[in-house]
Amino acid sequence: MKKVLTAMLPLMALLSTFPAAVSAAAGGGGEQLDLTNHLVGFTALVVFIVAYGFVMAEEFTHLRKSKPVLLAAGIIWAMIAAVYAHHGLPHAAEQAVRHNILEYAELFLFLLVAMTYINAMDERLVFDALRAWLVRSGFSYRKLFWFTGVLAFFISPVADNLTTALLMCAVVLAVGRDNPRFVTIACINIVVAANAGGAFSPFGDITTLMVWQKGIVDFQTFFLLFVPSVVNWVIPAAVMHFAVPDEQPPASGEVVTMKRGAKRVIFLFLCTIATAVSFHNFLHLPPMVGMMTGLAYLKLFGYYLKKTFDQRAAYKRRKTDLNQLELGDVVPFDVFKNIARAEWDTLMFFYGVILCVGGLGLIGYLALTSEVMYVEWGATQANVMVGILSAIVDNIPVMFAVLTMQPDMSMGQWLLVTLTAGVGGSLLSIGSAAGVALMGQARGLYTFFSHLRWTPVIALGYAASILVHFWVNDSQFSIPPLLP
């Protein structure tokens, strides 16, 4: 490793000798180098594109998506820091990267708590109980198609769209594994519904969460996107309905009993959301402070479950074999196991993406992009394109780039970009975490090309949701955002 670092020093020194123009950083009072025509800028762009190529190819390479972006972030910021140090600005890059890390820390802590609660509900068998109920309900394929879509749409605003999609897909596979046609269409419907449902809630998608935490749109304003989100899902679903087999699947008698405290964990999660919203709206604190406070609710409840856990007493009370005891009387609750089961690869991926995009922003590429998209094209065309890009590239770096550019737009336009970034990923199976996950869960049944066949119908819903947003939220296009 020492030899590698030694070998890199001449390269870093060479890069730092290229000329760069110095300009005042916007609103910061510090100095920012324009590196857009600099070798470091070109190299950083190539590094990011290559790294994101590996992210998009994760399904085929099985290389976790966090690895390439973590490496890319380190390389990009090392090159930037070397150039700034050469120009006598040794602390400018440090201050910039600290700003990006602060944004990541708020997102990280918020998501960590949300993931912990989801894992706690999963460990208490909340989702398994829901799945078992749906499987034994005796719905026809068409009823199940609509029921899983409705649940995906309304669960994803509270949970994340990935968890929601996986849960609904488990139901579809359990009921219709012998009917591949139904599984394929139902999975497409679930992806579209989960992404659409997440678009009108600050908790439904990472992009909406980022917009809310940035303070641009307040909590209740997001719900103005409810009707456009419904349109985005219902139109493709109505067309796909006629392709769903009109048959009755075999019923199942599976019954799953939730573990002790499951309902109280759900209640505490709702209390945690209320705390986060209250802290942000009334106390003007970052939402993650409320979420971390809510984590204390779960930890204290976990302590209560441990203290009241008595396997011997439970055995005497039930007078039966230990294997048949009420779940939760036998298995104690451990909150730290739920924290450990968080999607750490996803959390590390967010770190890499935020720092990569932040580095490209400091270089000057985001300012150029903002000039082209939001000045030359106009806000509407730019925001529609954001959704299309989200189908090819993950919506997280796209939305973070928009937030970093912070173009001068009305509230209606900020809601539009929130909508398009959230639902645009439904156009392709690789455009959202829900789609990628379901390709793995329903391997061979739900594929890239099976989704692609329905892309024109999904695009119709995408266009209709945008038009409906302009219609029902017309008054918002004259209102400035909360932050300039």
**Is residue 409 pLDDT above 70, yes or no?**
yes
Residues 6+ apart with CB under 8 A from 70: 348, 351, 352
pLDDT top residue among 214 and 177:
214
Question: Can you tell me the mean pLDDT for 17-30?
Answer: 38
Q: What is the mean pLDDT of the chain?
A: 82
**Whether the Cβ atoms of residue 423 and residue 196 lie closer than 8 Å to each other:** yes
Cα distance between residue 185 and residue 237, in whole Å: 9
Name the pLDDT band for 318 (thresholds 50, 70, 90): low
Residue with tokens 């779960």: 298
What is the model's pLDDT at position 231?
A: 96
Q: What is the pLDDT of residues 203-230, one digit of tens each?
A: 878 888 888 888 888 888 999 999 999 9
Q: Is the pLDDT of residue 29 over 70?
A: no
d(CA 201, CA 212): 9
Q: Read off the pLDDT band of 395 (50, 70, 90).
A: confident
Instruction: Label residue 372 by pLDDT band (50, 70, 90).
Output: confident
CA quadruple 364, 369, 372, 378: dihedral positive or negative? Answer: negative
**Across the chain, which distance is largest between two alpha carbons, in Å?**
82
pLDDT of 263: 92
Would the pLDDT of 72 be above 90? yes
CA atoms within 13 A on the CB side of 90: 0
Does 459 have pLDDT greater than 90?
yes
In terms of pLDDT, which residue wins out, 43 or 260? 43
Backbone angles phi, psi at 255, to 5 degrees: -130, 130
| pLDDT at residue 3 tops 50 | no
CA distance 63 to 460: 34
pLDDT digits (tens, 9 = 90+) for 142-170: 988 999 999 999 988 887 777 788 778 88
Decide if pLDDT at 44 tops 50: yes
pLDDT at 118 over 50: yes
Per-residue pLDDT at 252 exceeds 80: no
Share of the chain above pLDDT 70, in %: 88
pLDDT at 472: 94
Q: Report the run of H or E that residue 392 belongs to, with start and end.
A: helix 379-392
The winner for highest mean pLDDT among 27-41, 106-120, 301-315 is: 106-120
Please state at what angle helix 180-198 crosses helix 455-472, rounded to 10 degrees: 30
60-64, 193-197, 349-353: range with highest mean pLDDT:
193-197
166-170, 260-264, 470-474: least confidently modelled range: 166-170
Residue 311's pLDDT is what?
A: 57
**Looking at residues 12-39, what average pLDDT do you find?**
52
pLDDT at 59 over 70: no
What's the mean pLDDT in 480-484? 70
> Whole-prediction pTM value?
0.76
Q: Which residues contact 155 (CB under 8 A, 6 or more apart)?
A: 164, 167, 194, 197
Indicate if the pLDDT at residue 141 is higher than 80. yes
Looking at 90-160, list the stretches that DSSP marks H as alpha helix, in order from N- to C-terminal side.
Answer: 92-123, 126-135, 141-155
Percent pLDDT > 90 in the chain is 28
> Where is pLDDT greater, at 437 or 384?
384
Q: Compute CA 455 distance to the chain's CA centroid, rounded to the nearest angstrom.
A: 21
Q: How many helices (H) and strands (E) does the chain have?
A: 23, 2
